[in-house]
Amino acid sequence: MKPSVVTSEPNGHHCDDCAVRGAAVCSSLDAAELREFEHLGRRVHFDSGETVFSEEDITTSFYNVLEGVMRLYKLLPDGRRQIVGFALPGDFLGMNLSGRHNFSADSIGVVKVCQFPKGPFGRFIEDRPQLLRRINELAIRELSQARDHMVLLGRRSADEKVATFLLGWRERLVALNGPSDMVALPMSRQDIADYLGLTIETVSRTFTKLERLGVIEIIHGGISLLDPARVEAMAAA
Amino acid sequence: MKPSVVTSEPNGHHCDDCAVRGAAVCSSLDAAELREFEHLGRRVHFDSGETVFSEEDITTSFYNVLEGVMRLYKLLPDGRRQIVGFALPGDFLGMNLSGRHNFSADSIGVVKVCQFPKGPFGRFIEDRPQLLRRINELAIRELSQARDHMVLLGRRSADEKVATFLLGWRERLVALNGPSDMVALPMSRQDIADYLGLTIETVSRTFTKLERLGVIEIIHGGISLLDPARVEAMAAA
DNA sequence: GCAGCCGATTGACCCAGATCAAATTTGGCT
DNA sequence: AGCCAAATTTGATCTGGGTCAATCGGCTGC
């Protein structure tokens, strides 16, 4: 939200100790390539609520999320907001055709990214088709998720939306941190509403309803899934 | 909708006389490659309402639309449908990670596609990074469209949805056939409703309303845009 | 400890768009 | 041309989720 104050750590970073090395774009590179790749990017730190890039900005960099959560969103002229996704460690951002970002991204809590200037990164890809293939894989996966989300936005009820969101978000956290029924929700209720095409009030009421039904417990900074099966039943329709 | 009866024309087809050669994936190939590519695929004809492929089917082929319109959709278990897009000539279908299609596709009116078996096509791409780059471009463009559609589904009113749809559809037709204020709508009202996350009644009423306002005229098989500027104003919010 | 703030919750009411129910138009077929 | 089935339009009514308006509750700074 505020102008982004970027703190970079020009030195002392290595892909070796990078938590997302195996999952991110980098997974397509061998040890030697990784060493070269390392010098292309630099780690950048964002405090909570900073803008990483804005829709319509000229794309100058690609980003690999290392740590934290980002909201990715589009705004209508009158201020209505649709969150098109949340980025987590391992996600790759910045691909586009027009040379401009087609959504905005800002940090939810502290975020660390690996930032690659567009030019050098483009040249590095040039003669590494396996990296291009990896990027293509990530794009296709996102496309599939985008279509699932269209179904949710266009055809699901508020209850189904919230239940589906909780399960999907849990799945992503599980893939990162291992199984747990505690689901951390670092984003605000407004963020969840803007992701699901609802209002903050409806999200809040639905959470309360799920808690009263005994299927979740609302805890500080998230929820606890008491009855995953019932939540799945609500999500399925 | 019916089981798909496929009529193929094994011979007598050439990329030379292909209408979409310049626009589709093929645009990344030179003359020699195009000749080789030609032998990989075959033209397949579908009558109106036939299923080209279904969600969850194992992917056996990729498709390049040559002629006609297809609806691409996902179904919820209880039958609710969300159309995730319409495919027009030049569109490339079948990319996925799981080895299964993640949506269904059927023809709206007569459709001709160029069908490529997955294996040979995959091998052909292998040492042609510029084709991979082209496919990547198409994926990224679709991703951008998918995000725009999320905004529409999650945050726009019925009037805005319909107006936005008419303008967007016109733009696609103009890109194919050149400028015109006649907008052919080969899909049914139900298809439009399922694309916009509305009911058929709301779509019908909105069309009637636009006609009464004098900004469109409902004609056989489509509409005529009488006042594009007013429609744009309605779409913008 | 407590004042002030901001996010979240809760309540009361409303309305855009869904649902239900007829017409009406269109399109194939013979 | 004439008949049936399907698609579309139109009307009447209902309701899920939005809007407006208080609280509530948890931090922060003093």
Give domain status of residue B2, yes or no.
no
Question: For residue A233, which phi and psi values (nearest 5 degrees)?
Answer: -60, -40
CA dihedral A45, A46, A48, A52 (to 10 degrees): -150
Q: How far apart are the first and last CA of chain B?
A: 36
Measured in whole angstroms, how far is the alpha carbon of residue A28 from the centre of its chain? 21
Class of residue A200 by CB neighbours under 10 A (exposed 0-12, middle 13-18, buried 19+):
middle
Q: pLDDT category, B12, cuts 50, 70, 90?
A: low
Q: Could you tell me where the DSSP H helices lie in chain B?
A: 31-40, 118-126, 129-155, 158-177, 189-196, 200-212, 228-236
- Are B72 and B105 in contact by the 8 Å Cβ rule? The answer is yes
pLDDT at A44 over 90: yes
Q: What burial letters (b/e) apply to A12-24, b meaning 16+ CB within 10 Å?
A: ebebeebebbeeb
By percentage, how much of chain B surpasses pLDDT 70? 95
| Residues A166-184 pLDDT 10s | 999 999 999 999 999 999 9
> Residue B193: which CATH number?
1.10.10.10
Query: Amino acid identity, residue B147?
Result: R
Which nucleotide is closest to the Cα of B196 by its C1'? C17
- Are B107 and B52 in contact by the 8 Å Cβ rule? The answer is yes
| Residues B83-97 pLDDT 10s | 999 999 999 999 999
Tokens of B108: 């709206």
Of B135, B141, B146, the CB nearest to A97: B141
**What kind and span of H or E run contains B223?**
strand B222-225
By percentage, how much of chain A surpasses pLDDT 70? 95
pLDDT of residue A6: 47
Chain B interface includes A153 (CB < 8 A): yes
CA dihedral over A233, A237, B2, B5, signed as positive or negative: negative
- Are B61 and B117 in contact by the 8 Å Cβ rule? The answer is yes
Chain A: closest CA distance from residue B59 (Å): 14
Same domain assignment for residues B114 and B167: no
Q: What does the mean pLDDT of chain A come to?
A: 92
pLDDT of residue B4: 43
pLDDT at A233 over 60: yes
* SS3 at position A196: helix
Would residue A49 be called left, alpha or beta, if left means φ above 0 and alpha means ψ between -120 and 50 degrees?
left
Q: Among residues B100, B118, B149, which one ends one of the domains? A: B149
Mean pLDDT, residues A230-236 taken together: 95
Same domain assignment for residues B95 and B26: yes
| Residues A137-160 pLDDT 10s | 999 999 999 999 999 999 999 999
Q: Among residues A98, A128, A152, which one ends one of the domains? A: A152
Tokens of B217: 């005229």
Tokens of A40: 């292309």
Tell me if A197 and B237 make a contact (CB, 8 A cut-off).
Answer: no
Give domain status of residue A108, yes or no.
yes
Give domain status of residue A27, yes or no.
yes
Give domain status of residue A43, yes or no.
yes
Straight-line distance from CA A87 to C1' C10, in Å? Answer: 32
- Whole-angstrom Cα distance, residue B90 to residue B65? 5
pLDDT of residue A16: 81
Tokens of B130: 């510029």
Straight-line distance from CA B86 to C1' D7, in Å? Answer: 20
**What kind and span of H or E run contains B70?**
strand B61-75
Mean pLDDT, residues A71-94 taken together: 97
- Whole-angstrom Cα distance, residue A18 to residue A66? 8
- Whole-angstrom Cα distance, residue B216 to residue B212? 8
Token pair 């329709």 in the structure block, residue: A237
Give domain status of residue B183, yes or no.
yes
pLDDT of residue A2: 38
pLDDT at B11 over 50: no
- Residue of higher predicted confidence among B175 and A19: B175
Same domain assignment for residues B29 and B145: yes
Same domain assignment for residues B82 and B141: yes
- Whole-angstrom Cα distance, residue A148 to residue B89? 24
Which nucleotide is closest to the Cα of B201 by its C1'? D9
* SS3 at position A71: strand
Same domain assignment for residues B25 and B107: yes
Token pair 């993640």 in the structure block, residue: B102
| Residues B181-231 pLDDT 10s | 999 999 999 999 999 999 999 999 999 999 999 999 999 999 999 999 999
pLDDT at A12 over 90: no
Give domain status of residue B103, yes or no.
yes
| Residues B60-80 pLDDT 10s | 999 999 999 999 999 999 999
Q: Among residues A112, A132, A152, which one ends one of the domains? A: A152
Q: What's the structural domain count of chain A?
A: 2
Give domain status of residue A2, yes or no.
no
| Residues B30-62 pLDDT 10s | 888 888 888 999 999 999 999 999 998 999 999
Straight-line distance from CA B188 to C1' D6, in Å? Answer: 12
| Residues B148-158 pLDDT 10s | 999 999 999 99
Tokens of B150: 């999320």
Reduce the secondary structure of B155-194 to three states and give it as a string. Answer: HCCHHHHHHHHHHHHHHHHHHHHCCCCEEECCCCHHHHHH
Give domain status of residue B1, yes or no.
no
| Residue-number span of the structural domain to which A217 is assigned | 156-236
pLDDT at A1 over 80: no
Angle between helices A158-177 and A228-236 in degrees, nearest 10 = 130
Mean pLDDT, residues A124-133 taken together: 92
Q: pLDDT category, B170, cuts 50, 70, 90?
A: very high
Token pair 């964002």 in the structure block, residue: A46
Of B137, B139, B147, the CB nearest to A74: B147
- Whole-angstrom Cα distance, residue A56 to residue B7? 46
pLDDT at B19 over 90: no
Same domain assignment for residues A114 and A188: no
Chain A interface includes B135 (CB < 8 A): yes
